[in-house]
Amino acid sequence: MSETVSGHELTRATILNRAWPVMLANAAVPLLGLSDTAVIGNVGTPSDLGAIAFGAIIFSFVYWSFGFLRMGTTGFVAQAKGAKDELEIRSAVWRAVFTGLAIGCCLMLLKVPIADFSLSLLNGSDSVESVTRSYIDWRLLGAPAALALFALMGTMIGMGHTKALLIVQIFMNGSNILLDIYFAGVLEMGASGIALGTAIAEWTSLLLALFLVVRILKQRTQAELIPWQRLKDMASLRKTFSVNRDIMIRTFLLVSSFAWFVRESAQFGDNQLAANHILLQFISFSAFILDAFAYIAEALVGEALGSQDMTGFDRAVRLSSELAIGFSLALAVGFSLFGEMLAGLLTQHDSITLVVGDNLTWASVYIFLSFAAFQFDGIFIGTTETAAMAKAAVISSGGYLLLSVVLTRYWGSDGLWLSFVALVVLRALALAWYYPALRRRIDQAS
């Protein structure tokens, strides 16, 4: 059982012990994207790879717009754990799980409008759009499971049971990769096979995650597993709605920014679109590694807030950020040295690999500078002080859109990448502006 760590006991080793399972679990997510890209890149055409790029960004919209199911759950669970409120822990868990299932069912019913709207914005070729529509149809079959999984993963992080998270992620991605190879490669279903394999993996992984979370909850106390009366508490529901609304705004704007990047990439041709998609896989891999420290910061600052431990809060922020800086530098250097070689493993098209090499420095700079935004996200999520996150997203996304329009006009794809780097810098600066006020509020409450 994972217990609350006091500020005086918290060390880098403690954080690393919690972080490495999250790191491996998170790394499995972009590895799945890389495997999808590798399968299609070696059996399909540049248009097929472009369709996978469109499908990936659409489901970043569709799913991560509801990322509050993971993030909000982590903050609420961690604070309840720090306060030793077992009923509130369970309420936070099931409130998010039931919400995820309901939203997912609605998304399944809206597959046609989702496809029409998304493709009208992305402005791809006819061949890319045709394959993408089929991808959406199959992928949405897993929507209820995918969103409920967000809630259960947030629970595992907030409770400090990161090894359980790793088990679920390895199972989901391992089964997903095998199913993708079977459906897309063996049965030659292409992008539709990738989507079907993902949907099946999401449902089976949901069952595994439910088993693990129920076991964790029963180990803590034998009280009512689902506190139905507590779920109806209006004050908690209002707080949950407020936090989720802020996170949804933040996530929608950031995913919109990534979608804009993909859309603008398409204006420079299929090779640039495919190359930027590969580079985004590198960025996603790095982001999920660095997010491990942000996730641990979420849990630790949430616990510190719940137990009114200001020393624990400060040490969690400082130590997790120091580790994040070191890892971001290592990732940036690694991809700058070996990125073109890795791209050659993901596609057989030399023309795409050459474009990857031309833009690799931009991606490496983005990776190094991104740690600050991730760490601030973790702090604000763990304390459920999410209004500042929504405001920061408005500022950074607006600045990025303006810069991309101007810089792309004069510097082409280099201008697009420069504005993309500015996006992550603006996020960090905006959150840094709000951080001192957040810390003062926590200090006064302790």
Predicted pLDDT at 1: 43
Predicted pLDDT at 398: 95
Predicted pLDDT at 272: 84
**Is residue 86 one of the residues assigned to a domain?**
yes
In one-letter notation, the amino acid at residue 202 is E
Predicted pLDDT at 177: 83
**Closest C-alpha among 327, 437, 421 to residue 379:** 437
Per-residue pLDDT tens over the stretch 20-53: 888 887 766 656 666 667 776 665 656 667 777 7
Could you give the CA distance from residue 155 to residue 208 in angstroms, rounded to a whole number?
14
**Is residue 3 one of the residues assigned to a domain?**
no
Find out whether 61 and 118 touch, Cβ atoms under 8 Å: yes
Mark the ranges of the chain whose per-residue pLDDT is less than 50. 1, 3
| Domain count across the chain | 1
**Is residue 2 one of the residues assigned to a domain?**
no
Residues 6+ apart with CB under 8 A from 364: 332, 333, 335, 336, 339
- Domain holding 160, by residue range, is 12-445
How far is residue 228 from each of residues 79, 93, 215, 221, 233, measured CA to CA in Å? 20, 12, 19, 16, 9
Lookup: tokens for 351: 């023309």
Could you give the CA distance from residue 363 to residue 421 in angstroms, rounded to a whole number?
8
**Is residue 4 one of the residues assigned to a domain?**
no
**Closest C-alpha among 73, 30, 69 to residue 148:** 69
Could you give the CA distance from residue 11 to residue 3 in angstroms, rounded to a whole number?
15
Predicted pLDDT at 46: 64
**Is residue 194 one of the residues assigned to a domain?**
yes
Lookup: tokens for 316: 């969690």
**Is residue 236 one of the residues assigned to a domain?**
yes
Predicted pLDDT at 340: 85
Predicted pLDDT at 268: 84
Predicted pLDDT at 88: 86
